[in-house]
């Protein structure tokens, strides 16, 4: 084997390896490109699914919160109604007593009371 045949053999081997490397690179590039696209699609599908699940959880939490607010509001309304039911008669009694006391003090009702106390003998019982 001489140098020319060796050079020719190395040159053809180099060309073969360069062509094989280019084909392998192209094939791997396409393979990874397709794999990358599949990965992107899978990630987008997962993201969409997580978003839908989060929306569902949010809707459930919102409904639970609304239910709690309605329950608390109904409870407070019931308590307010009970307070008003008990307070109205008391307020009527206070207003009535206020009117009576006003008559006694401002319209000289104490004079009538004094006379009725003297005539009933209560005053003599109180003084003794």
Per-residue pLDDT at 8:
66
Identify the band that residue 128 occupies on the pLDDT scale cut at 50, 70 and 90. very low
Q: CB burial class (10 A; 0-12, 13-18, 19+) of residue 61? A: exposed
* Cβ–Cβ < 8 Å for 123, 117: yes
**Higher per-residue pLDDT: 3 or 81:** 81
Residue 111's nearest CA partner among 25, 99, 119 is 119
* Segment 26-72, tens digit of pLDDT: 777 777 777 778 888 899 999 999 999 999 999 999 999 999 999 99
Better-predicted residue by pLDDT, 58 or 112: 58
* 110 vs 83 pLDDT, higher one: 83
Residue entry with tokens 């019982």: 125
| Res 71: pLDDT | 96
Give the pTM: 0.42
* Token pair in block for residue 34: 């397709």
Rounded Cα–Cα distance for residues 95 and 83 (Å)? 18
Average pLDDT over the chain, rounded to whole? 80
The yes-or-no verdict on residue 123 having pLDDT over 50 is no
pLDDT digits (tens, 9 = 90+) for 76-89: 999 999 988 887 78
């Amino acid at each position: 084997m001489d140098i020319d045949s060796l050079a020719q053999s190395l040159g053809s081997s180099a060309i073969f390896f360069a062509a094989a490397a280019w084909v392998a690179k192209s094939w791997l590039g396409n393979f990874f490109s397709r794999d990358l696209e599949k990965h992107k699609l899978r990630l987008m599908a997962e993201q969409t699914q997580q978003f839908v699940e989060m929306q569902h959880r949010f809707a459930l939490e919102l409904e639970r919160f609304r239910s709690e607010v309605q329950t608390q509001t109904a409870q407070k309304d019931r308590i307010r109604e009970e307070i008003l039911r008990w307070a109205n008669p008391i307020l009527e009694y206070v207003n009535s007593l206020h009117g009576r006391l006003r008559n006694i003090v401002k319209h000289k009702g104490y004079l009538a009371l004094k006379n009725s106390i003297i005539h009933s003998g209560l005053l003599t019982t109180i003084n003794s």
